[in-house]
Amino acid sequence: MPGTILQANNLVKKYGDLIAVNDVSFAIEEGEVFGLLGPNGAGKSTTIAMLSGLFPPTGGSATIGGLDVVRELGKVKQIIGVVPQDLALYPTLNARENVGFFGELYGLRGKALHARVDEVLGYVGMLERAKDQVKTYSGGMKRRVNLAAGLVNHPRLLFLDEPTVGVDPQSRNHIFESVERLNREQGMSILYTTHYMEEAERLCHRIGIIDRGKLIALGTPRQLIESLGGGIIQLGLAAPDETVRAAVEALPAVRSASYVTAEDATPGEQDPSPATDGKAILKIEANQGNDALLQVLHYCNEVDVDILSLDLLEPNLETVFLNLTGKSLRD
């Protein structure tokens, strides 16, 4: 049975009165790709910064490989790799020199360093351009070299903080394949943050969703999608009416119904920013989407409720995220 490579317990990070991370706990198993998703400013990068030893938590604790990330930070750094959101490369050095520099920081020298640099550059598809200065690379190529630098010390746990931001489709797909190979062939454990749902669904065994510094959901992609049931129906009505809400919630195919503000409404694909213009939004969580829609429409027609707008969202990971946070990942 694989063990736990990372355990975070009630992590807190405060900046004065601002609580950037608020009582966050989760674990990552050996050989697992764990996705940490959240809108900008949710606390993802701050969590990674604490776990990788960039700064200590205000409260709580964490271990990696059984080592305390504060008291045993020197040992922790030997078994982790960090690929930050901001590029950590020297533009006037070439790829081999950049990755070699990071290898030397981990104590690699001579033939062992040279072999490892070539190995990781080959892994990310950058050997052919290894002697060119980084400043001549595209954004995607720089991201791939950034990934190689994070791999040079043979990490057991790799932190990837939004590694595909601003990259071309070819480099993005290459990064996907590299992550999958590292996990499949080397059993590497990976903490992966992203703004793209398709990445999380493709790469991650389990996902934690963080918003306003708090972990608000945790599970496999399938578990998270199933938690939404049959999807969401949003009705725009002239005004909130408790009788209508209660009657809709009592329908057999409906799980719950509540009035929400425009900020809390889940944006649909056709209407990414639902405008209220004075109307009330009745948000309906369905047990069975099609049945619920038919029952809701039949009820509204029967009691003469005017529907000003209707939005039907099928259950998927994007819908789960939007339902929990009320905002797009790219907000």
- From residue 237, how far is each of 40, 264, 305, 313 by CA, in Å? 31, 16, 8, 18
Convert the pLDDT of each residue in 161-207 to its tens digit: 999 888 888 888 888 999 999 999 999 999 999 878 889 999 999 99
- 231 has pLDDT over 50: yes
Flag whether pLDDT at 263 surpasses 70.
Answer: no
Report residue 58 as tokens.
């205000």
pLDDT at residue 277 in the model: 53
The answer to whether the predicted template modeling score (pTM) of the entire model surpasses 0.85 is no
Question: What does the pLDDT look like over 113-148, one tens digit per residue?
Answer: 999 999 999 999 999 999 999 999 999 999 999 999
Nearest-CA neighbor of 8 among 154, 159, 212, 225?
159
CA 244 to chain centre: 37
Task: Report, in angstroms and rounded to the nearest whole number, the Rg of the chain calculated over CA atoms.
Answer: 23
**Higher local confidence (pLDDT), 138 or 331:** 138
- Tens of pLDDT along 280-302? 999 999 988 889 999 999 999 99
Out of 3.30.70, 3.90.940, 3.90.1070, 2.40.50, select the CATH number for domain 229-314.
3.30.70
Please name the CATH architecture into which domain 4-225 falls: 3-Layer(aba) Sandwich (3.40)
Assess contact for 95 and 134: CB atoms under 8 A: yes
Domain ranges of the chain: 4-225, 229-314
